Structure 1
């Protein structure tokens, strides 16, 4: 009844039932459907160490262990994908 990837919220739908032998004998009603937001589990990552004098990078994926609705999280712009944001404050020097 509701499209895939519908935003979380409460939706009210109206439906009608009619008797087959007497098609004008009908009754309608409304029903509420609640869609909940998908479960997101961001798991703490260990990025290893980087020599502070030399600097460097890490190749560890920040989302390798993270899930959305129990499936691997994917960074992107499509429905069901996630956005990665670094939350301030960012330590000096990074």
Structure 2
């Protein structure tokens, strides 16, 4: 159980994410991607190596692996959160990957 003030902050973050139609991890990892891109730009870092998840890579049909029949869905929010983080990083990144 989280302490009162922290529990309320987490609850507000969950409510805000739900209002935007995002999962909690989508919101959190998207924010991480935006913060990383902004921080790297401010620090003048010219290059970034990023490693993603195989779950979000396209299959031969073009659909992400996580959307194929039989792929485990127990971690879907985790996969989607990484998509949000990677998308935010790509959108905010001005250097080379």
Per the normalisation by structure 2, the TM-score is 0.22
| Between structures 1 and 2, the one with greater strand share | 1
Q: Which has the higher helix share?
A: 2
